[in-house]
């Protein structure tokens, strides 16, 4: 008897995918069929409860409609009363002479404003009631539609088509409700409680509707055969000779199944757009931008099962991460066309602005890879570094880490090329770049970025150690540079080019990072120490040369000049590097973080090379200070040697009273000093770059001018006519030593030149100068001597009558 009461299930084609999935989950084996009566009883109880809830909702709707009708009758009575009052007011104002001026003023001043206020209040109440009732009706429709889809999922025999139609009805009603709420929020902000109450009920409906839509979408994907089998892709990844042709389930689906999938895809898009609109209304300021663009749910549902299936293979390739990147790129590339062909038209139909299925697919695949790297690969590599650091050997762990970063960088370039094919200007913003960059793992883990920078820096320092100790590299000059656009000959040793190549490798590394702040951080951690190391090497060599010979030896001078040349060349390259877009962006970001407007940075550490703010400004400034300091030391050393060879010349006061020897154009005791000067300047000119050599000879000219002026003209030396002639001859030869570097060398010896000019004046003209003073000095072109100095020179001038 019991067997006769058992009913067979309908044909499989009449069951929805979710019903099939439900039955499969409850009946794994034949023994599970014995639990069917209890399961049936449980389902019938739930259906009974839901039917009772539906009856309650219908009763609630009926009561609301009755209340609305009653409220409408009361509003009609109020409007009738107001209409009667307006008629009475009109009749009272039309009867001329029937009331006094005082009565008119009473009506216009008191009764009319009160009546207008009452009309406005009643109108507001009416609008509020209508809006509330309309929203209540819409929410009722939404809850009915959601309840219908829920009943279908719990086992009712409603068709899948009916369920999708009810979901679309619910979504359409939700959109209409959101439009009303958006209008109320803008025009009636005082109705915040009404909006909050409606939002609460909409949230409850969406909490049921979205999981249902996603569950149905997953069921459809499963029936389509998604995710595609990865075994073929894995085997082709390991053996490129094997064919990897596998059908794409998205392109092979046909008929009703394809139509049903497209409708479900559109439903997810519509739900997401509705959610975006609601968040945009509820959030303000920067939070609103976050709500404007979120990953597409439907694309995530395509990627998640692939990601789960792929990780089973990834776990075998921890020591061969190149296979992981190759497989992810192959999957991304093989299915990217179906995104444009099949799914993008659906996104356009749903009117989701700013969304590209191709970009969303690539972004989701890259983010799944980044998540796996952050959870599984990087922790292993970090632990290996920790273990090897305890033993003092870091070679293998460093190699694995740098190899992984190389793979990530190469993968990002390939993916970005794939994303940019046919899409212009997609990667202009950091936010877009982060979405399709596996290096975005460092955005959430800056400590890993610091570790990477430390590894890079240690590797570079290990390679530089041997090169720094090779003296030949310090002697060999750089033969041009691809980095520099300036044709200036810097005479720089090759060591500067080697350091710049290492710095350039760090800069190239940081270009791959998906964020300006990360690039800036990486350059500071791995790039700036290279510059500091270079400056320390230059300073050490100069100090060694100074300590051994006090720079009196030509070899020591050559050593210092090469260091200055290297600093000049390095500084010029850094200034040109600061004009690169990469460093300009980092500089602007630095100003934003510090709250500095562009154009405000100035002073000692300010604008360098036309750049308003560069993260290398401090290092450029230190290189400049180093050059200036040692250029001054070179001129000081030459001046000191000149002074040592001029002691007899300076001590011989008698020579300024005697005539010049016949056949001599220069004083004998001055010849040795001039010869020393020309010899040292020849060494410096041959070894020093042109720009810094200008600083040397100008500084030396200033020092010589001060030295001769203080030693002779301010030394209480009596100058006769022969002494003036001797001084003029000696200065002419001295000026001639500087003739090769300027047209008017006397201009760089202002004090001795103007003193000689005074000494050559006639006695009468000089005596008059004491009476005229400052005015006389200006008229005779004496600008670099004070009145006191002129007075002293004139007093020491002796004329023989």
Q: What is the pLDDT of residue 68?
A: 66
Could you tell me which residue, 644 or 778, shows the higher pLDDT?
644
Can you tell me the mean pLDDT for 781-797?
Answer: 86
Give pLDDT tens digits for 290-346: 545 788 999 999 999 999 999 888 988 888 999 999 999 999 999 998 888 889 999
Label residue 285 by pLDDT band (50, 70, 90).
very low
Distance, in Å, from the CA atom of 18 to the CA atom of 12, rounded to the nearest integer, reads 12
- The mean of the pLDDT values for the chain is 82
Distance, in Å, from the CA atom of 398 to the CA atom of 381, rounded to the nearest integer, reads 9
3-state SS string over 604-647?
A: CCCCECCECCCCCHHHHHHHHHHHHHHHHHHHHHHHHHHHHHCH
Label residue 674 by pLDDT band (50, 70, 90).
very high
**Residue count (the chain):** 801
Burial 421-433 (b: 16+ CB within 10 A, else e): eeeeebbeebebb
Label residue 524 by pLDDT band (50, 70, 90).
very high
Burial 544-558 (b: 16+ CB within 10 A, else e): ebbeeeebeeeebbb
Burial 673-697 (b: 16+ CB within 10 A, else e): bbebbeebbebbeebbbebbbebbb
The residues, any chain, with a CB within 8 Å of residue 307's CB and separated by 6 or more, are 368, 372
Label residue 152 by pLDDT band (50, 70, 90).
low
Q: Where is mean pLDDT largest: 21-35, 417-431, 553-567?
A: 553-567
The answer to whether residues 394 and 462 touch, using CB atoms and an 8 Å cutoff, is no
Give pLDDT tens digits for 725-755: 999 999 999 999 999 899 999 999 999 999 9
Helix (H) or strand (E) holding 271: helix 255-282
Distance, in Å, from the CA atom of 679 to the CA atom of 637, rounded to the nearest integer, reads 13
How many CA atoms, within 13 angstroms, populate the side-chain half-sphere of residue 601? 23
Can you tell me the mean pLDDT for 655-668?
Answer: 82
Residue of 591, 711, 705 lying closest to 652 (CA atoms) = 711
The answer to whether residues 525 and 457 touch, using CB atoms and an 8 Å cutoff, is yes
| One-character DSSP codes across 284-332 | -HHHHHHHH----HHHHHHHHHHHHHHHHHHTT-TT-HHHHHHHHHHHH
Residue of 700, 753, 697 lying closest to 730 (CA atoms) = 753
| Residue 692 pLDDT exceeds 70 | yes
Task: Check residue 601 and report its DSSP letter.
Answer: -
Angle at 346 between CA 345 and CA 351, to 5 degrees: 95
Q: What is the pLDDT of residue 131?
A: 87
Can you tell me the mean pLDDT for 233-258?
Answer: 69
Coil, strand, or helix at residue 113?
Answer: helix
Euclidean distance between the first and final Cα of the chain, in Å?
160
CA distance readout (Å), 253 to 141, 250, 258, 335, 758: 34, 6, 5, 15, 106
Angle at 168 between CA 165 and CA 174, to 5 degrees: 145
Q: What is the pLDDT of residue 600?
A: 45
Distance, in Å, from the CA atom of 505 to the CA atom of 523, rounded to the nearest integer, reads 11
Does pTM top 0.75 for this prediction? yes
3-state SS string over 53-78?
A: HHHHHHHHHHHHHHHHHHHHHHHHHH
How many CA atoms, within 13 angstroms, populate the side-chain half-sphere of residue 654? 1
Q: What is the pLDDT of residue 602?
A: 42
| Residue 13 pLDDT exceeds 80 | no
Q: What are the residues facing 477 on neighbouring strands?
A: 493
Instruction: Name the percent of the chain in helix, strand, coil, to the closest 5.
Output: 80, 0, 20
The answer to whether residues 417 and 480 touch, using CB atoms and an 8 Å cutoff, is no
Q: What is the pLDDT of residue 105?
A: 57
3-state SS string over 430-469?
A: HHHHHHCCHHHHHHHCHHHHHHHHHHHHHHHHHHHHHHHH
Distance, in Å, from the CA atom of 572 to the CA atom of 578, rounded to the nearest integer, reads 10
Residue of 406, 436, 433 lying closest to 585 (CA atoms) = 433
Residue of 291, 269, 293, 294 lying closest to 280 (CA atoms) = 291
Ramachandran angles phi, psi of 719, nearest 5°: -110, 115
Distance, in Å, from the CA atom of 447 to the CA atom of 427, rounded to the nearest integer, reads 26
How many CA atoms, within 13 angstroms, populate the side-chain half-sphere of residue 300? 9
Distance, in Å, from the CA atom of 64 to the CA atom of 70, rounded to the nearest integer, reads 10
Give pLDDT tens digits for 450-504: 999 999 999 999 999 999 998 899 988 876 544 454 557 788 999 999 999 999 9
CA distance readout (Å), 627 to 633, 692, 695: 10, 8, 10
Across 254-268, 415-429, 655-669, least confident range: 415-429
Distance, in Å, from the CA atom of 604 to the CA atom of 607, rounded to the nearest integer, reads 8
CA distance readout (Å), 586 to 192, 454, 519, 574, 582: 44, 20, 8, 14, 6
CA distance readout (Å), 160 to 153, 164, 268: 10, 6, 16
Q: What is the pLDDT of residue 254?
A: 84
Q: What are the residues facing 493 on neighbouring strands?
A: 477
Coil, strand, or helix at residue 335?
Answer: coil
Helix (H) or strand (E) holding 7: none
Across 216-230, 546-560, 736-750, 775-789, least confident range: 775-789
Across 133-137, 152-156, 676-680, least confident range: 152-156
| Residue 781 pLDDT exceeds 60 | yes
| Residue 12 pLDDT exceeds 90 | no
| One-character DSSP codes across 523-554 | IIIIIHHHHHHHHHHHHHHHHHHHHHHTT-SH
Distance, in Å, from the CA atom of 297 to the CA atom of 300, rounded to the nearest integer, reads 5
Residue of 656, 664, 776, 660 lying closest to 708 (CA atoms) = 656
CA distance readout (Å), 549 to 545, 546, 552, 628, 637: 6, 6, 6, 21, 11
Distance, in Å, from the CA atom of 252 to the CA atom of 338, rounded to the nearest integer, reads 10
Distance, in Å, from the CA atom of 524 to the CA atom of 270, rounded to the nearest integer, reads 46
CA distance readout (Å), 423 to 223, 336, 347: 33, 13, 17
| Residue 653 pLDDT exceeds 50 | yes
Distance, in Å, from the CA atom of 367 to the CA atom of 354, rounded to the nearest integer, reads 19
| Residue 20 pLDDT exceeds 60 | yes
Distance, in Å, from the CA atom of 596 to the CA atom of 591, rounded to the nearest integer, reads 5
Q: Per DSSP, which regions of 88-218 are E strands? A: none
The answer to whether residues 228 and 246 touch, using CB atoms and an 8 Å cutoff, is yes
Angle between helices 192-224 and 17-26 (to 10 degrees): 70
Give pLDDT tens digits for 568-594: 999 999 999 999 999 988 888 776 665
| Residue 373 pLDDT exceeds 80 | yes
The residues, any chain, with a CB within 8 Å of residue 512's CB and separated by 6 or more, are 408, 409, 412, 413, 437, 439
Distance, in Å, from the CA atom of 628 to the CA atom of 171, rounded to the nearest integer, reads 74
| Residue 505 pLDDT exceeds 80 | yes
Q: What is the pLDDT of residue 501?
A: 94
Across 692-696, 749-753, 763-767, least confident range: 763-767
């Amino acid at each position: 008897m019991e067997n006769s009461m058992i009913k067979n299930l309908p044909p499989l084609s009449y069951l929805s995918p979710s019903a099939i999935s439900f039955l499969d989950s409850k009946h794994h084996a034949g023994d599970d069929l014995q639990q069917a009566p209890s399961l049936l009883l449980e389902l019938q109880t739930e259906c009974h409860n839901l039917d009772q809830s539906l009856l309650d909702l219908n009763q609630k709707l009926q009561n609301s409609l009755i209340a609305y009708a009653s409220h409408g009758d009361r509003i009609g009575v109020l409007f009738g009363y107001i209409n009667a009052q307006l008629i009475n007011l009109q009749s009272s104002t039309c009867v001329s002479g029937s009331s006094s001026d005082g009565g008119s003023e009473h009506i216009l001043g008191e009764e009319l404003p009160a009546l207008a206020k009452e009309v406005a209040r009643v109108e507001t109440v009416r609008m509020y009631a209508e809006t509330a009732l309309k929203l209540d009706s819409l929410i009722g429709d939404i809850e009915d539609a959601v309840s219908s889809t829920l009943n279908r999922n719990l086992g009712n025999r409603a068709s899948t088509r009916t369920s999708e139609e009810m979901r679309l009805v619910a979504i359409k009603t939700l959109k209409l409700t959101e439009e009303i709420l958006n209008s109320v929020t803008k025009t009636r902000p005082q109705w915040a409680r009404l909006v909050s109450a409606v939002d609460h009920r909409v949230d409850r409906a969406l909490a049921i509707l979205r999981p249902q839509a996603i569950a149905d979408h997953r069921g459809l994907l499963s029936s389509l055969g998604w995710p595609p089998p990865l075994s073929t892709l894995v085997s082709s990844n390991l053996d490129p000779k094997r064919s990897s042709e596998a059908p794409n389930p998205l392109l092979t689906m046909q008929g009703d199944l394809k139509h049903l999938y497209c409708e479900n895809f559109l439903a997810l898009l519509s739900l997401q757009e509705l959610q975006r609109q609601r968040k945009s209304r509820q959030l303000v300021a920067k939070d609103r931008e976050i709500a404007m663009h979120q990953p597409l749910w439907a694309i995530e549902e395509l990627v998640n099962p692939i990601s789960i299936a792929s990780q089973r293979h990834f776990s075998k390739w921890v020591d061969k991460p190149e296979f992981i990147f190759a497989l992810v790129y192959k999957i991304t590339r093989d299915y990217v066309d179906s995104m444009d062909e099949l799914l993008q038209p659906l996104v356009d139909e749903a009117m989701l602005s700013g969304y590209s299925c191709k970009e969303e697919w690539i972004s989701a695949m890259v983010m799944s890879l980044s998540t796996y790297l952050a959870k599984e690969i990087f922790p292993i590599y970090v632990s290996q570094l920790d273990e090897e650091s305890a033993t003092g050997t870091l070679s293998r762990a460093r190699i694995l880490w740098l190899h992984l970063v190389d793979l990530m960088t190469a993968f990002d370039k390939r993916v970005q090329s794939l994303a940019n094919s046919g899409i212009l200007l997609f990667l202009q913003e950091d936010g877009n770049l982060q979405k399709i960059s596996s290096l975005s793992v460092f955005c959430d883990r800056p400590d890993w970025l610091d570790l990477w920078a430390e590894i890079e820096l240690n590797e570079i320092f290990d390679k530089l150690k041997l090169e720094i100790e090779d003296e030949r590299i310090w002697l060999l000059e750089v033969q041009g540079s691809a980095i520099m656009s300036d044709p200036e000959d810097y005479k720089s040793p090759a060591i500067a080019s080697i350091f710049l190549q290492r710095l350039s490798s760090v800069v190239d590394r940081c270009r791959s990072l998906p964020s300006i702040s990360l690039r800036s951080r990486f350059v500071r951690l791995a790039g700036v120490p290279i510059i500091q190391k270079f400056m320390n090497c230059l300073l050490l060599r100069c100090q060694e040369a100074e300590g051994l010979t006090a720079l009196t030896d030509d070899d020591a001078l050559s050593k210092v000049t090469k260091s200055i040349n290297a600093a000049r060349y390095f500084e010029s390259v850094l200034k040109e590097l600061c004009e690169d877009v990469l460093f300009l962006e980092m500089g602007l970001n630095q100003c934003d973080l510090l709250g500095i407007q562009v154009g405000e940075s100035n002073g000692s550490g300010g604008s360098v090379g036309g750049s308003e703010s560069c993260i290398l400004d401090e290092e450029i400034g230190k290189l400049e200070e180093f050059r200036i300091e040692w250029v001054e030391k070179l001129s000081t050393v030459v001046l000191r040697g000149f002074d040592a060879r001029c002691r007899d010349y300076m001590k011989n006061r008698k020579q300024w009273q005697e005539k010049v020897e016949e056949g001599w154009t220069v004083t004998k005791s001055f010849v040795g000093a001039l010869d020393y000067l020309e010899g040292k300047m020849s060494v410096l000119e041959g070894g020093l770059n042109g720009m810094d050599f200008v600083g040397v000879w100008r500084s030396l000219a200033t020092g010589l001018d001060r030295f001769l002026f203080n030693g002779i003209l301010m030394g209480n030396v009596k100058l006769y006519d022969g002494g003036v002639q001797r001084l003029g001859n000696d200065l002419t030869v001295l000026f001639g030593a500087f003739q090769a570097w300027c047209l008017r060398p006397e201009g760089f010896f202002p004090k001795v030149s103007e003193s000689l000019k005074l000494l050559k004046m006639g006695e009468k003209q000089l005596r008059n100068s004491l009476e005229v003073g400052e005015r006389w000095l200006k008229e005779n072109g004496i600008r670099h001597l004070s009145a006191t100095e002129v007075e002293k020179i004139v007093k020491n001038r002796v004329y023989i009558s």
